[in-house]
Structure formats: C-alpha cells, structure tokens
C-alpha cells in the first residue's frame, strides 16, 4: 500500500514538473549588428558573456529582421508582417502597432505569466499604443526611437534619466542600460518569489545613437584601438567606435550579471533566454562587416541579417549548434507559444520553429521570406495612391535559399557573390519569375491595409491628459530633440480619435512642459528669435490630406496672438466622439511651424 502511495506521489511530482511553464527572457539590443560579437570575428570588441550564451544556444544562422527598429519590434510582438501590423516606419505616425492585435505580452499574460518591458518600446507613446496598453504588467521604458527623441523626457542623456514607470515619469539613478537590466532582474526576482512564471523583454537603447558609453567601457575600447593593427582607422572613427563598441561591452557585462542571477536563483534551467538585435549594424561597413554588404536601413544582407540565440537547458532542445535555413523575427512568437504550451488559434505570418529546435524537423528548404519597411516621408511625395502603393510594393525584398531580390530590380546569389556586387537580374529569368510571384502574392495580401492610419485616442480614462508630440505627425519626420533645439521649422498634423463627447483643452507648446520655455525663446544653437506672433488651431474630419493640399497649408480655424513671454497657447473646443485631424501652427513674418507639443485634456 505504501509503495502505491509512493509511486502516486512520485507521479504527481513528475507531472507537476513537466507541467511547469518556463520563464521567457528576450534581450534585444538596438543597432548592434551581426558583426558586433567577438564570436563572429569582431577584431576590436570582446563579448565574453554573449560568446558563452552563443556556446550553449541553438543559433539561427540565417535569421532576418527589418532593416529598421520599429518594424522589427512590431513583428516580434505580433508574429505579423510589418505592413499588416501597422508599424511600418520609425516615426511619422507610422510606428504605431495596430490596436486590437494581440501582442506577445497578451498571449503570455493570458496564460498566467507576469509580463515586463524594460527599455525601448518604439510602438507608440500614447493610448492605446503604450506597452501598458498592450499587455505588459510592469514597465520601465522611454518613448520613440532613442533616448533624446522628441517624445522622450526633455534632456535625457543616458545618465540619471527620467523614464516611464508603469504610466508615470520617474527619475532613475545610473546609466541607461544598467537601469533596464537592473529593473528587469528585480521584476524576475519578484515574480519568482511569488511563484509566477515571467516573460521579460529587456530592450536596450544602446548602442543606438547618440553614442554615449560609460567611461570605463569607452576607455577599454580606446586602449584596444591604440594597437598597431588599427592604425589604418582614422582618429574620428576610433572615437566613435570607442563609444559604439563600449556600449556593447556594457551590454555584454549586464548580460553576464543577468545569467548569474538566474543561476544563483536556480532559475536558469527552466528559463528560455533569447538574444537578438533589432537591425543591422550602424558602423559595420566602416571597420568590419562579417563578410556582408550593407548596414541599418539597407536591404543588402548586412541591413537585416542578425544574430539570434535560443537557450533553454531543461527544454529538451537539441544540443547547441548552428541552425541553417531562412528564419525571421515573426517566427519567435509562434515558436515561444509552442515551447511554452500556450494554446492559441492565432494566424501568424511567421512559423513555429519548436519542432526544429527539438530536432524533429528542419527549416523548409524552399521557404521564402519578405523583408519590408516603408521609408517615409519620401513615400508620400508620390503623386497618386497607385504610384504610392506600387512604389511601396517595390521596396520589399524577397529571400529564397541564397537568392536575394531587392526592390524588384537587383538580384544576387549569395552563394557565389556574398558581397552582393553582381546584379544578375537579367541572367536568371526563372528565378526572377518565382521570386516576383512571391512579391506579388505578398503585396496582394497586405497591400490593401498597409497604409491604414493608426489614431491616438484622446479623452479616454486611460490617458487624460494626453501629451502629443510631433513624432506622430502623419508622414512628417521630426523625431529628435536636437531638431527642435536647433530651431527646425516643420509642420504636420495628428490623426486622432475622440473617445467621448465633451469639452477639450488643447495647450500648444513649442517646448515641452518640463522646461517651460517661452514659445519665442531662441533656438539652443543661438540662431535667434523666431518672431512668432500668432497661433492657429484647426480641426477637421478627413482621413488625411491629399498630396496637393499639403503645401501650402491653409490657415483656417481659430487664431490667437502669441506674446513675447507666452509659454503656451490654449484653445478650448467642444468635440464629438469620432475621428479627427488636428493641425496647429505658430506663425511670424518669416516663420511657420507647428506646435511640437500639444497637451490635450478632456475637461
């Protein structure tokens, strides 16, 4: 009888152990490419902890992302193509992840996980696009593309910055990447103590520009760069590399701290750890590019082929080795759901790699992938919708085996031409026809909705007031605080959705409220007064302006004078629930620019 109870008890323990869901950590760095790892032959940088992770991981060796960061992040979060999920660019109102789509955080949260994001989000800074709106329980993040972007807290400079913590600005002490890892580790520790599985997304802003490394990391790289074998590099490049590679050295150190934490807390064996970067290198072609052509923003291989390491000691995965065959960032979400036994009926553009990681299948040899993103605002200068959509279709790249079809005008065979020097588009008509067919099928599928406008919602209980910034002007690029600091004069408009009927205040500012500077204050580069004397405010309900209506702007709507010391001009208007477009202007004798910051409050 005792033996029966013993085996019953043992079976319960084994069943519970098998049923235990693994923790999941994704570490994604920003603008670090395939070349920036010593295990990939980097001649300057040493990354011992990333190299160790490489050694215990399954490595996707033909793994591809978008050549730009926000599209990659949207694909990671949804498992869907960028043209389908709405995040097709890095700014200009085109980096907003389509509302209503389930994200990785939603899937894990619904399965009982606690979820956390630490670092860069870049899929929307307003409701309903913020990480706290998209399934994340714990957040410490900054808006838009980089620390120092227009929506970021004014003056953040990598040290002792102010980030968004669970919906509120909070000042932190320390270096940016250190903070994001520390906050992530703290989150993991609390989840483990509560007996909850966790999903943690640690998404560093480094090594994205501006290039600001910690002194010790910069000094270490400067020392390496004094060696004779680097005498051919000019002094300015060496200074930039010291900061750029120094930032990656810091990431490597932090990764080592995180892995040690997992081991010390007996979490490592039951935790899936994934490391990847968000696009190609920004510096590779200038010093070392791992045998590839191209960099960030480019469709050549160096723009989108990146490292991807997957490690799970207790997961029954194959022994560490390189996995060949075409894979992409959309594959990670369906793969993780399968590995974690999370049921779902979602339709993804990516495929699950779980059976491949467990040695039961291989990557299909005939698989084709599409790499795409929209290079706004040049896109909107095409005069007709047909020309726009045709051009956007042609911006895609088709990957098949070792063939690469770029923008339907360049064809390369990496097998014989790894540096993509010889365009053979006229020599292989059958290959070209097969790849063009894939491009046409893809565009027929995603094209009808690829340019749908995603609207920030104002007047909602989830965000009131709303802080709008020029980063979300539709198809107009202003994403850097330095553009405002130097006195750039740009105009654009917001596509909004009014949540409820009511009376709304629109507070127009040239400078954000945290510095409270007069509208007429000189630019920080000393370029002098702008002599602004009028603020204009205009709302309408169109989808968005036709090309012919964009220039020159018509100063319709409401007007108010701007005094020499006015810091903000407020317009109060009644609004009905529904979609609107918001235009603002500050005007003077030789000046026209829109309010870079508008604070909207439902009264």
CATH 3.30.1120.10 location in the chain: 369-449
Q: How buried is 162 (Cβ within 10 angstroms: 0-12 exposed, 13-18 middle, 19+ buried)?
A: middle
pLDDT at 363: 98
48-55 helix and 235-264 helix, angle to the nearest 10 degrees = 50
Listed residue (351, 361, 311) closest to 330, CA to CA: 351
The overall longest dimension of the chain from CA atoms, in Å, is: 96
Tokens of 333: 């979400």
pLDDT at 17: 39
pLDDT at 444: 93
Alpha-carbon distance of 441 to 371, in angstroms, equals 14
Residue found under tokens 């008890």: 9
Tokens of 406: 């770029």
Listed residue (194, 286, 207, 186) closest to 251, CA to CA: 207
- The SS3 of residue 59 is strand
Which superfamily does CATH assign the domain made up of 22-368 to?
Alkaline Phosphatase, subunit A (3.40.720.10)
Q: Write out residues in the chain with pLDDT < 70, as ranges.
A: 1-19, 375-393, 525-529, 541-556
CB 230 within 8 A of CB 44: yes
pLDDT in tens, 378-419: 344 444 444 455 556 677 899 999 999 999 999 999 999 999
Listed residue (49, 29, 579, 565) closest to 311, CA to CA: 49
Q: Is the pTM of this model over 0.85?
A: yes
Pairing assessment for the beta strands 456-458 and 569-575 based on DSSP bridges: unpaired
pLDDT at 527: 59
User: Residue 525's Cα: distance from chain center in Å?
Assistant: 30
Alpha-carbon distance of 159 to 205, in angstroms, equals 12
Alpha-carbon distance of 223 to 243, in angstroms, equals 12
Alpha-carbon distance of 95 to 124, in angstroms, equals 6
CATH class, domain 456-602, is mainly beta
Q: Put the strands of the sheet holding 322-323 in their side by side order.
A: 168-171, 162-165, 138-142, 114-120, 198-203, 23-29, 271-277, 308-311, 58-60, 322-323
What is the CATH T-level fold of the domain 369-449, as seen in this structure? Arylsulfatase, C-terminal domain (3.30.1120)
Alpha-carbon distance of 155 to 484, in angstroms, equals 12
* Cα–Cα separations (whole angstroms), residue 37 to 49, 229, 323: 10, 18, 18
pLDDT at 461: 96
User: Residue 236's Cα: distance from chain center in Å?
Assistant: 29
Alpha-carbon distance of 315 to 340, in angstroms, equals 9
CATH 2.60.120 location in the chain: 456-602
Alpha-carbon distance of 539 to 522, in angstroms, equals 29
Tokens of 43: 């001649």
* Cα–Cα separations (whole angstroms), residue 571 to 151, 435, 473: 22, 54, 19
Q: How buried is 211 (Cβ within 10 angstroms: 0-12 exposed, 13-18 middle, 19+ buried)?
A: buried
69-78 helix and 332-339 helix, angle to the nearest 10 degrees = 30
429-446 helix and 385-394 helix, angle to the nearest 10 degrees = 130
CB 407 within 8 A of CB 396: yes
Alpha-carbon distance of 60 to 317, in angstroms, equals 14
CATH 3.40.720.10 location in the chain: 22-368
pLDDT at 405: 98
Alpha-carbon distance of 469 to 471, in angstroms, equals 5
Tokens of 265: 């807390």
pLDDT at 373: 81
Tokens of 531: 């002599």
Q: How many CA atoms lie within 13 A of 279 on its CB side?
A: 32
199 DSSP β-pair partners: 24, 115
Residue found under tokens 């964009």: 550
Alpha-carbon distance of 54 to 39, in angstroms, equals 8
CB 489 within 8 A of CB 589: no
pLDDT at 557: 80
Alpha-carbon distance of 401 to 187, in angstroms, equals 41
pLDDT at 545: 47
3-state secondary structure 63-124: EECCCCHHHHHHHHHHCCCHHHHCCCCCCCCCCCCCCCCCCHHHHHHHCCCEEEEEEECCCC
Alpha-carbon distance of 130 to 463, in angstroms, equals 10
* Cα–Cα separations (whole angstroms), residue 360 to 63, 316, 318: 20, 11, 9
Listed residue (546, 602, 555, 547) closest to 583, CA to CA: 555
Alpha-carbon distance of 312 to 310, in angstroms, equals 7
Alpha-carbon distance of 561 to 219, in angstroms, equals 53
């Amino acid at each position: 009888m005792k033996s029966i109870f013993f085996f019953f008890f043992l079976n319960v323990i084994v069943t519970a152990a098998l049923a235990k869901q693994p923790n999941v950590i994704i570490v994604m760095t920003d603008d670090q490419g395939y070349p920036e790892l010593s295990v990939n032959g980097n001649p300057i940088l040493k990354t011992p902890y990333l190299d160790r992770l490489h050694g215990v991981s399954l490595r996707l060796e033909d793994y591809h992302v978008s050549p730009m960061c926000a599209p990659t992040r949207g694909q990671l979060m949804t498992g869907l193509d960028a043209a389908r999920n709405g995040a097709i660019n890095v700014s200009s109102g085109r980096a907003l992840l389509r509302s209503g789509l389930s994200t990785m955080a939603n899937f894990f949260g619904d399965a009982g996980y606690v979820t956390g994001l630490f670092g860069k989000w870049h899929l929307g800074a307003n409701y309903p696009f913020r990480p706290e709106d998209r399934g994340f329980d714990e957040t410490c993040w900054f808006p838009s593309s980089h620390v120092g972007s227009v929506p970021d807290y004014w003056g953040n400079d990598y040290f002792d910055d102010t980030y968004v913590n669970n919906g509120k600005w909070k000042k932190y002490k320390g270096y940016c990447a250190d903070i994001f890892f520390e906050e992530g580790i703290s989150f993991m520790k609390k989840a483990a103590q509560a007996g909850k599985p966790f999903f943690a997304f640690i998404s560093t802003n480094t090594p994205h520009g501006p290039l600001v490394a910690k002194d010790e990391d910069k000094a270490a790289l400067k020392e390496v760069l004094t060696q004779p074998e680097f005498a051919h590099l000019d002094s300015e490049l060496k200074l930039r590399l010291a900061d750029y590679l120094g930032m990656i050295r810091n990431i490597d150190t932090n990764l080592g701290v995180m892995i040690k934490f997992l081991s010390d807390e007996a979490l490592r064996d039951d935790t899936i750890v994934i490391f990847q970067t968000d696009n190609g290198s920004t510096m590779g072609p200038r010093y070392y590019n791992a045998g590839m052509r191209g960099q960030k923003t480019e469709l050549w291989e160096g723009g989108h082929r990146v490292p991807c390491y997957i490690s799970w000691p207790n997961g029954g995965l194959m022994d560490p080795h390189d996995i060949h065959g075409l894979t992409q960032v959309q594959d990670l979400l369906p793969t993780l759901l399968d590995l974690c036994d999370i049921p779902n009926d979602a339709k993804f553009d990516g495929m699950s790699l779980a059976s491949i990681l467990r040695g039961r299948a291989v990557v299909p040899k005939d698989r084709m992938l599409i790499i795409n993103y929209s290079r706004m605002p040049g896109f909107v200068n095409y005069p007709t919708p047909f020309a726009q959509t045709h051009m956007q279709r042609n911006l895609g790249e088709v990957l098949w085996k070792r063939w690469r079809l770029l923008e339907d005008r360049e064809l390369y065979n990496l097998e014989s031409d790894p540096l993509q020097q010889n365009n053979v588009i006229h020599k292989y008509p059958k290959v070209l026809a097969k790849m063009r067919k894939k491009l046409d099928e893809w565009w027929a599928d995603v094209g009808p909705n690829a340019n749908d406008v995603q609207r920030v919602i104002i007047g909602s209980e989830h965000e009131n007031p709303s802080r709008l910034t020029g980063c979300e002007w539709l198809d107009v690029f202003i994403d850097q605080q330095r553009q405002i600091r130097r006195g750039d004069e740009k105009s654009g408009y917001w596509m909004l959705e009014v949540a409820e009927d009511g009376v709304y205040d629109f507070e127009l500012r040239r400078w954000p409220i945290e510095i409270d500077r007069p509208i007429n204050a000189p630019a920080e580069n000393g370029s002098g007064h702008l002599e602004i004397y009028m603020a204009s405010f205009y709302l309408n309900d169109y989808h968005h302006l036709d090309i012919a209506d964009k220039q020159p702007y018509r100063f319709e709507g409401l007007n108010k004078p701007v005094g020499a010391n006015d810091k903000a001009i407020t317009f109060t208007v009644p609004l009905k629930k529904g979609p609107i477009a918001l235009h603002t202007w500050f005007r003077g004798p030789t000046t026209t620019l829109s309010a870079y910051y508008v604070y909207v409050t439902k009264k």
